[in-house]
Amino acid sequence: MIIELKPEASEADAKEILTQIESVKLKPLYMPGTERIVLGALGDEIVLHSLNITAHPMVENIKPILSTYKQVSREMQSHDTQVAFGQNTIGGGTFTVIAGPCAVENKEQMFESAKIIKKYGATGLRGGAFKPRTSPYSFQGLEEEGLKILQETAKEFNIPSVTEIVDANHVDMMEPYVDAFQIGARNMQNFKLLKAVGQTNKTTILKRGMSATIEEFLLAAEYIYNEGNKNIILCERGIRTYEKATRNTLDLNAVAYIKTKSHLPIIVDPSHGTGIRELVIPMSKAAIACGADGIIVEAHYNPQIALSDGQQSLDEAYFEKLMSELTPFIHASGKVLS
């Protein structure tokens, strides 16, 4: 439930009501705004009715939150959330371009790739050290050694970094190495991992599961938010459909829809969304047009020798083309590269 207080209500009035909410084991939320204080009560609504909060002299109005996800919904917060990513900001009027190899392979590969993406204006560096591969025989990543290379590269090129976390027990070990965690499609409903990341303050890019509905996707984000971590960036990376011509079907409906339903920023991954290098630029433009707050793309200094996802990785010529062709789209959307 959302409880709107009267404009003249004080912080003390709010605290009194929050204590009542807490006393019946509901989750109290305090959301002071510029004009008035808004409170939230999460849990069994029948229990809330028993408190008869409507009768409180400082309560103006009580309304239910209709969506199943609560704290990440626009019903709870109408303005866009902005999330820090290193020195940059994602959401609320910025457009982010995160790029880099699928996997960290070695220092030379990371340095050469970072040099290219930085040269043309990327605002974030990606690289997987723990790779959840479909086949157990595929390259699984360099693990902690890969994190060290990623950290060294990000420092050298002064660019924020993101890498995938696959295990709740890795949180403490991984946190110092990167600016953001990524939770991959295959782990979107790994609730233990969602909760563990939720207990940190680390910026987290949550990718949509390949067969997850939008509601399931937002409920996964709610798991992280509910533990206290509000620094969440959603990522649409394509879903599995009957279509086999492309690796996945990039669901841009989801981006436009989520913008109306959630205050969290959302970026698009056209690399995994299509699986085809030639489609990355057009789908990046489409991502801007449908309201995305950024893109995350795979780029490699030499995709032919990439140990994973070379077929969808951009080389220098493609990355330069991406950035030059995206610039007018970013301007047209009224956003700034960040």
Classify 291 in phi/psi space as left (phi over 0), alpha (psi -120 to 50) or beta. left
Q: Return d(Cα 76, Cα 145) in angstroms, integer.
A: 42
Q: Return d(Cα 325, Cα 261) in angstroms, integer.
A: 30
Q: Return d(Cα 6, Cα 153) in angstroms, integer.
A: 52
Counting contacts by CB under 6 A, is residue 239 touching ligand PEP?
Answer: no
Q: Under a CB-based contact definition with an 8 Å cutoff, are residues 60 and 304 in contact?
A: no
Q: Which is nearer to Mn ion, 105 or 309 (CB)?
A: 309
With CB cut-offs between 5 and 8 Å by kind, which of ligand PEP, Mn ion, none does residue 207 bind?
ligand PEP
| Interface pick for ligand PEP out of 128, 265, 294, 303 (rule CB under 6 A) | 128
Q: Under a CB-based contact definition with an 8 Å cutoff, are residues 163 and 153 in contact?
A: no
Counting contacts by CB under 6 A, is residue 162 touching ligand PEP?
Answer: no
Structure tokens at 52: 């008869």
Structure tokens at 211: 């067969």
Q: Under a CB-based contact definition with an 8 Å cutoff, are residues 221 and 69 in contact?
A: yes
Closest CA to 258 of 211, 296, 293: 293
Q: Which is nearer to ligand PEP, 73 or 161 (CB)?
A: 161
* Residue 32 neighbours by CB distance under 10 Å: 12
Q: Which residue has the tokens 């700034």?
A: 336
For Mn ion, the nearest residue by Cβ is 102
Q: Which is nearer to ligand PEP, 88 or 312 (CB)?
A: 312
Report, in Å, the least distance between residue 131 CB and Mn ion.
Answer: 8
Using CB under 6 A, count the residues that bind ligand PEP.
9
Using CB under 6 A as the binding rule, the residues of this chain from 195 to 224 that contact ligand PEP are 207
Using CB under 5 A as the binding rule, the residues of this chain from 301 to 320 that contact Mn ion are 309
Q: Which positions from 175 to 194 touch ligand PEP by CB under 6 A, shown as an x/- string?
A: ---------xxx--------
Amino acid at 217: F
Counting contacts by CB under 5 A, is residue 102 touching Mn ion?
Answer: yes
Report, in Å, the least distance between residue 309 CB and ligand PEP.
Answer: 7
Q: Which is nearer to Mn ion, 105 or 222 (CB)?
A: 105
Report, in Å, the least distance between residue 190 CB and ligand PEP.
Answer: 12
Q: Which residues bind ligand PEP (CB under 6 A)?
A: 102, 128, 184-186, 207, 237, 269, 272
